[in-house]
């Protein structure tokens, strides 16, 4: 075991740092999706042009073809440099693209992947429905096969970036009368197609970042189905494993910055003299250190065995809950100034309110605990 | 960067686990055979990182997790540290003293058959070469006796890595203890039936077990990182080992409590094993405790 990096990796780290130092935008990313879309696209394009998009994606599709450790190094330096959140490119870059790399046809890959890396195509995820949240297998949106097309009717909800997206990962029922996990397909849906209506939804933090999406006889070519008709559940599970698996790398660096800032703030305003606060800060500092250790352990597991290992679900839950504890502390340290919050403010209260998502989106904390209990500890399935 | 076990470490881990299961079962923690210490010495665990052994602290931590999982004798911690930092001056078992100020009494743990006493202090280790001649009393941990001794002349190791080493080993014991409680709870939750199904089917119980798994995984990861930091001589090794000890102690205590709850009535009996983990955890929290002030200091 060791926690050092090879000379080659260290050189790569220097390269990342140098480029980021002179290229991270000085202006802040606007917090609302519609205002930020231009910013998000331009920044992604800049990353792509300089060779920093898709570090471990295949070179044939615009990536760099580098190792996962180099990807980690990039994400660490990215967070250290306070580079902007990738925003609207999140879905395409973090799970849409990786799902295509794993499951899509050559034609699908060569059309979509480079566009994602270039920030030219924005993706969204159409999994959840009003009646299918944690119980994703109860999806009702259906696609009737007509010639070489699917004719889609139904609705999706909580679709992040739907109102700015060009494409969607759409999971729908393509076999009439099918139940649960069977008869589903994962299709690439053109968000500009006729018959799609988008009703944006505002979050309690003020942003309009997700939406309800209605499908009224929307036509999708059958050639847009990924991984074969009826294999949607399997493909969707790979999407979720990417969604649940990549975010934490940058998260651990950000958590390190946050806890350092919180301790400095508590010193400056004297609240650190409260033993309860000092103890919570010390605890979180230890937990943030452990988060990095877990991340490294997980990544080296992937390098050694090609798989993230069963403890990946543990990291995901721990990251989410630790993030929320940090956000709560930041608000606590604001004292009564926290009540000044109004929509549009980009401060700790905003992060705190937004942060409720981390134990809901992509599988709630309860569902994660089921997964840990059942897959890691072998307890009987509750569902 | 690699925080996974290599083949050699994995083999050593498995061998240790197997040996512990056959010769030092957790359930028998309060009735250790008189010959056990000699066997532990013969297995080489009392001096894995002693000069000339060429083993690193990461490997040692992996092994001590397994020993801790079986509630191995506390004296192993002090003996292993003494063998690393004090070349000579004693032979055989070294008991462990909790930190105390001169000239007060010191509280010595696991004194049975020891030839010397090692005291952990935040900045040094002190070795007292004294025979085991004071009367023993029990501790909350049924596997560990104690005695009182007055302060005598000692040899000291001021090497900053010395107290960190012992703290790391104690953290490894706590990680093992947290693992043991987690596994005991999960096994029971699969076995025990109520309402015509295993109690682990109920989420109220399943999620208690999941949280035990999270705590154990968090503590173990930090332990490995800390061991590597100590091996590499990093300036922040003290910080990382303190973080590891804090998280490991917490995991051992919280998992110890949760395990009892998962077991219901049998869980709080003297006869069943769950209390052994909880009581060991309570003892470990006083051995080389984490320094909260260090956790709040600016990174080096
Ligand atoms: C900010 C945000 C962004 C999102 N973006 C997207 C997106 O882009 N695309 C997309 O498809 N979806 C998205 N989602 C939806 C998200 O995946 C769902 O909200 C999530 O899966 C939970 O479903 P639900 O909201 O219907 O809650 P429900 O499933 O109704 O859950 C309600 C409560 O019941 C609990 N619960 C449910 N079932 C069980 C069970 N079996 N055992 C124990 N407890 C249970 C849950 O944990 C939760 O506390 C987003 C959500 C948020 C908050």
Residue B300 has what pLDDT?
62
**Tens of pLDDT along A61-76?**
999 999 989 999 999 9
User: CATH no. for residue A76?
Assistant: 1.10.540.10
Distance from CA of B189 to the nearest CA of A (A): 7
A135 lies in the same domain as A205: yes
Spell out the residues 6+ positions from residue A148 whose beta carbon is closer than 8 angstroms to its own: A221, A222, A223
Is residue A383 in contact with ligand 1, taking CB distance under 6 Å?
yes
A115 lies in the same domain as A168: no
Is residue A160 in contact with ligand 1, taking CB distance under 6 Å?
yes
Phi, psi at residue B264, to the nearest 5°? 65, -150
The answer, yes or no, to whether residue A246 has pLDDT greater than 70, is no
Say if the Cβ atoms of A382 and B206 lie within 8 Å. Answer: yes
Residue B54 has what pLDDT?
83
A359 lies in the same domain as A295: yes
The residue in chain A having the minimum alpha-carbon distance to the alpha carbon of residue B209 is: A373
Cα separation of B224 and A197, whole Å?
52
Place of tokens 């998280």: B247
For chain A, the domain total comes to 3
| Listed residue (B142, B212, B14, B188) closest to A372, CA to CA | B212
Which bin fits B54, alpha (ψ -120 to 50), beta or left (φ > 0)?
left
| CB neighbourhood size of B195 (10 A) | 8
A157 lies in the same domain as A55: no
**Tens of pLDDT along A300-358?**
988 888 877 777 889 999 999 999 999 999 999 999 999 999 999 999 999 999 999 99
Residue A245 has what pLDDT?
66
Say if the Cβ atoms of A372 and B298 lie within 8 Å. Answer: no
A282 lies in the same domain as A310: yes
Residue B52 has what pLDDT?
85
CA of B80 to the centre of ligand 1 (A): 50
In sequence order, what DSSP letters do the residues of B109-123 get, joined into one string? ES-TT-SEEEEEETT
B-chain residues near A317 (CB < 8 A): 210, 214
A118 lies in the same domain as A137: no
Is residue A364 in contact with ligand 1, taking CB distance under 6 Å?
yes
Q: How confident is the model at residue A276 (pLDDT cuts 50, 70, 90)?
A: very high
Nearest to A370 among B206, B228, B298 (CB): B206
In sequence order, what DSSP letters do the residues of chain B get, joined into one string? -B-S--HHHHHHHHHHHHHHHHHS-GGGTTS--TTHHHHHHHHTTTSTTSTTS---HHHHHHHHHHHHHTT--THHHHHHHHHHH--SS--S-EEEEPP--TTSEEEEES-TT-SEEEEEETTEEEEE---S-SPPEE-SSTT-EEEEEE----EEE--THHHHHHHHHHHHHHHHHHHHHHHHHHHHHHH-EETTEEGGGSHHHHHHHHHHHHHHHHHHHHHHHHHHHHHTT-TTHHHHHHHHHHHHHHHHHHHHHHHHHHHGGGGGSSSSSHHHHHHHHHHHTTSS---HHHHHSPP-
Place of tokens 């600016």: B298
A243 is catalytic: yes
A365 lies in the same domain as A253: yes
Is residue A92 in contact with ligand 1, taking CB distance under 6 Å?
no
> Mutate which of B198, B212, B222 to test chain A, going by most A C-beta atoms within 10 A?
B222
Spell out the residues 6+ positions from residue A355 whose beta carbon is closer than 8 angstroms to its own: A323, A324, A327
**Tens of pLDDT along A175-188?**
999 999 999 999 99
Handedness of CA A77, A79, A85, A90 (dihedral sign): positive
Which of A360, A373, A374, when mutated, tests ligand 1's pocket best, judged by the most ligand atoms within 8 Å of its CB?
A360
| Angle of helix A312-333 versus helix B203-231 axis, rounded to 10 | 90
Q: H or E element: which one contains A200?
A: strand A196-202
Find out whether B171 and B244 touch, Cβ atoms under 8 Å. yes
Phi, psi at residue B149, to the nearest 5°? -140, 150
Is residue A93 in contact with ligand 1, taking CB distance under 6 Å?
no
**Looking at residues A220-231, what average pLDDT do you find?**
98
Is residue A355 in contact with ligand 1, taking CB distance under 6 Å?
no
Q: Specify the residue with its C-alpha closest to ligand 1, atom 16.
A: A361
Residue B89 has what pLDDT?
62
**N residues, chain A:** 383
A-chain residues near B4 (CB < 8 A): 1, 297, 300-301, 304
B-chain residues near A276 (CB < 8 A): none
Is residue A159 in contact with ligand 1, taking CB distance under 6 Å?
yes
3 state SS of A4: coil
Cα separation of B218 and A315, whole Å?
8
Cα separation of B277 and B256, whole Å?
6
Say if the Cβ atoms of A2 and B1 lie within 8 Å. Answer: yes
A249 lies in the same domain as A371: yes
Which of A97, A122, A147 is the C-terminal boundary of a domain? A122
| Strand A184-190 versus strand A225-226 pairing type | antiparallel
Strand extents, DSSP E, A47-175: 123-126, 142-146, 149-160, 167-173
Cα separation of B235 and B227, whole Å?
13
Residue A247 has what pLDDT?
64
A-chain residues near B9 (CB < 8 A): 1
CA of B29 to the centre of ligand 1 (A): 45
CATH 2.60.40.1180 fits B161-295, yes or no: no
Cα separation of A377 and A191, whole Å?
41
Cα separation of A149 and A185, whole Å?
13
Question: Which ligand 1 atom sits nearest the alpha carbon of residue A383?
Answer: 41
Is residue A381 in contact with ligand 1, taking CB distance under 6 Å?
no
A-chain residues near B196 (CB < 8 A): none
Residue A239 lies in a domain: no
A143 lies in the same domain as A21: no
Is residue A359 in contact with ligand 1, taking CB distance under 6 Å?
no
ipTM: 0.95
Residue A176 lies in a domain: yes
CA B98-B99-B100 angle, 5° bins: 115
A85 lies in the same domain as A208: no
The residue in chain B having the minimum alpha-carbon distance to the alpha carbon of residue A316 is: B214
> Mutate which of B7, B56, B218 to test chain A, going by most A C-beta atoms within 10 A?
B218
Q: How confident is the model at residue A100 (pLDDT cuts 50, 70, 90)?
A: very high
A87 lies in the same domain as A178: no
Residue A102 lies in a domain: yes
Residue A243 has what pLDDT?
80
| CB neighbourhood size of A170 (10 A) | 31
Structural domain of residue A203, as residue ranges? 124-230
What the block records as the tokens of A298 is: 């997980």
* pLDDT, one tens digit for every residue, chain B (300 residues): 999 999 999 999 999 999 999 999 999 999 999 899 999 999 999 989 898 888 999 999 999 999 999 999 999 999 999 999 997 767 899 999 999 988 889 999 999 999 999 999 999 999 999 989 999 999 999 999 999 999 888 899 989 999 999 999 999 999 999 999 999 999 999 999 999 999 999 999 999 999 999 999 999 999 999 999 999 999 999 999 999 999 999 999 999 999 999 999 999 999 999 999 999 999 999 999 999 999 999 776
Which of A173, A205, A230 is the C-terminal boundary of a domain? A230
Say if the Cβ atoms of B243 and A289 lie within 8 Å. Answer: yes
Phi, psi at residue A219, to the nearest 5°? -100, 125
| Strand A167-173 versus strand A123-126 pairing type | parallel
A-chain residues near B246 (CB < 8 A): 282-283, 286
Distance from CA of B264 to the nearest CA of A (A): 17
Distance from CA of A39 to the nearest CA of B (A): 34
Say if the Cβ atoms of A286 and B242 lie within 8 Å. Answer: yes
Distances (CA, A) of B199 to A62, A338, B185, B204, B258: 51, 44, 11, 9, 14
pLDDT, mean over chain B: 95
Q: H or E element: which one contains A216?
A: strand A208-221
CA B190 to chain centre: 28
A224 lies in the same domain as A295: no
The answer, yes or no, to whether residue A248 has pLDDT greater than 80, is no
Handedness of CA B156, B159, B160, B161 (dihedral sign): negative
Instruction: Point out the catalytic residue in the list A77, A243, A251, A327.
Output: A243
Cα separation of A1 and B275, whole Å?
34
Residue A382 lies in a domain: no
User: CATH no. for residue A170?
Assistant: 2.40.110.10
Question: Which ligand 1 atom sits nearest the alpha carbon of residue A135?
Answer: 29
Which of A364, A371, A379, A382, when mutated, tests ligand 1's pocket best, judged by the most ligand atoms within 8 Å of its CB?
A364
Question: 0.90 cut: is pTM over it?
Answer: yes
Residue A306 has what pLDDT?
81
A-chain residues near B222 (CB < 8 A): 286, 289-290, 293-294
């Amino acid at each position: 075991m060791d926690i050092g990096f090879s000379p080659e990796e260290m050189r790569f780290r220097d390269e990342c740092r140098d480029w980021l130092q002179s290229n991270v935008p000085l202006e802040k990313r606007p917090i609302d999706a519609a205002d930020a879309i231009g910013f998000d696209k331009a920044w992604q394009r800049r990353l792509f042009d300089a060779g920093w998009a898709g570090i471990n994606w295949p070179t044939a599709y615009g990536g760099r073809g580098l190792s996962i450790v180099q990807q980690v190094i990039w994400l660490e330096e990215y967070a250290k440099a306070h580079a902007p959140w990738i925003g609207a490119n999140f879905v395409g870059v973090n799970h849409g693209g990786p799902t295509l790399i794993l499951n899509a046809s050559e034609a699908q890959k060569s059309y979509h992947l480079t566009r994602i890396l270039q920030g030219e195509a924005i993706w969204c995820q159409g999994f959840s429905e009003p009646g299918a949240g944690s119980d994703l297998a109860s999806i009702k949106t259906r696609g009737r096969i007509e010639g070489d097309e699917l004719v889609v009717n139904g609705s999706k909800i909580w679709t992040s970036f739907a109102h700015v997206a060009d494409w969607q990962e759409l999971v729908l029922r393509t076999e009439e009368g099918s139940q649960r996990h069977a008869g589903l397909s994962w299709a690439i849906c053109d968000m500009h197609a006729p018959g799609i209506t988008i009703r944006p939804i505002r979050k309690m933090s003020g942003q309009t970042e997700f939406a309800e999406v209605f499908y009224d006889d929307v036509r999708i070519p059958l050639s847009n189905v990924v991984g074969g008709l009826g294999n949607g559940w399997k493909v969707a599970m790979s999407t979720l494993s990417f969604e649940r698996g990549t975010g934490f790398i940058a998260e651990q660096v950000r958590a390190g910055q946050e806890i350092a800032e919180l301790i400095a703030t508590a010193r400056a305003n004297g609240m650190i003299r409260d033993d309860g606060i000092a103890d919570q800060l010390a605890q979180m500092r230890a937990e943030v250190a452990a988060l990095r250790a877990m991340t490294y352990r997980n990544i080296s597991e992937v390098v050694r065995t090609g798989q993230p290992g069963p403890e990946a679900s543990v990291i995901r839950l721990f990251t989410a809950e630790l993030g929320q504890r940090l956000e709560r502390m930041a608000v606590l340290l604001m004292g009564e100034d926290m009540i000044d919050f109004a929509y549009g403010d980009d401060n700790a209260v905003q992060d705190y309110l937004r942060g409720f998502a981390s134990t809901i989106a992509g599988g709630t904390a309860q569902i994660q605990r089921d997964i840990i209990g059942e897959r890691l500890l072998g307890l009987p399935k509750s569902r | 960067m690699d925080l996974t076990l290599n083949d050699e470490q994995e083999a050593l881990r498995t061998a240790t686990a197997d040996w512990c299961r056959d010769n030092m079962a957790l359930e028998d923690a309060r009735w250790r055979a008189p010959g056990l210490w000699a066997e532990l010495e013969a297995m080489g665990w009392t001096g894995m990182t002693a000069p000339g052994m060429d083993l690193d602290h990461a490997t040692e931590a992996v092994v001590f997790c397994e020993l801790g999982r079986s509630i191995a004798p506390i004296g192993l911690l002090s003996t292993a540290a003494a063998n690393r930092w004090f070349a000579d001056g004693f032979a055989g078992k070294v008991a462990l003293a909790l930190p105390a100020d001169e000239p007060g009494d010191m509280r010595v743990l696991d004194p049975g058959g020891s030839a010397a006493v090692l005291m952990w202090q935040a900045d040094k280790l002190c070795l007292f070469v004294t025979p085991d001649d004071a009367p023993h009393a029990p501790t909350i941990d049924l596997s560990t006796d104690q005695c009182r001794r007055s302060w005598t002349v000692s040899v000291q190791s001021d090497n900053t890595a010395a107290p960190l080493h012992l703290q790391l080993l104690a953290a490894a014991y706590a990680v093992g203890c947290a693992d043991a409680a987690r596994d005991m709870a999960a096994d029971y939750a699969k076995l025990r039936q109520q309402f015509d199904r295993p109690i682990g089917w109920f989420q109220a119980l399943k999620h208690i077990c999941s949280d035990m798994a999270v705590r154990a995984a968090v503590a173990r990861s930090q332990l490995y990182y800390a061991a590597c930091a100590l091996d590499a001589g990093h300036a922040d090794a003290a910080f990382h080992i303190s973080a590891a000890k804090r998280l490991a102690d917490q995991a051992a205590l919280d998992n110890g409590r949760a395990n009892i709850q998962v077991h219901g009535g049998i869980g709080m009996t003297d006869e069943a094993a769950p209390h052994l983990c909880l009581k060991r955890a309570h003892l470990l929290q006083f051995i080389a405790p984490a320094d909260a002030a260090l956790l709040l200091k600016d990174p080096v």
